[in-house]
């Protein structure tokens, strides 16, 4: 990362949070049958991408996208478990652990 600062990191964190919320709304939309949640899902994805666009002004795209996607996947997995009682098998959790290791390595690249 060049010109790393908390301003751009905060946009990356916000982008990840908004992406997670969008994914939860997508699940609640029931395949867009519930138009309100479907519309909210699209809106939150658009805002998340706007935040990501701000973050990549100072964070390398490959690092920002990997962190955004990785944190989004991990948190969405946890949200699915807590909100919808969806569970991963051991291979799924091994994959999540691999993502955490990969994101950590990217941070120090």
**Which tens digit of pLDDT belongs to each residue from 8-60?**
999 999 999 999 999 999 999 999 999 999 999 999 999 999 999 999 999 98
pTM: 0.80
Domain ranges for the chain: 6-108
**Which tens digit of pLDDT belongs to each residue from 56-101?**
999 988 888 888 888 888 888 889 889 999 888 999 889 888 888 8
18 in Cβ contact with 48 (< 8 Å):
yes
CA-nearest of 93, 91, 89 to 74 is 93
- The encoded tokens of residue 74 equal 């991990």
90 in Cβ contact with 31 (< 8 Å):
no
């Amino acid at each position: 990362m060049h010109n790393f600062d908390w301003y751009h990191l905060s946009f990356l964190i916000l982008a990840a949070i908004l992406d997670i919320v969008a994914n939860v709304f997508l699940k609640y939309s029931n395949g867009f049958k519930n138009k309100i949640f479907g519309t909210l899902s699209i809106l939150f994805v658009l805002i998340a991408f706007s935040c990501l666009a701000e973050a990549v002004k100072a964070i390398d795209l490959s690092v920002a996208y990997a962190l955004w996607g990785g944190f989004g996947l991990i948190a969405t997995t946890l949200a699915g478990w807590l909100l919808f009682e969806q569970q991963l098998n051991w291979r799924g959790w091994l994959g999540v652990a691999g993502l955490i290791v990969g994101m950590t390595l990217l941070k120090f690249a």
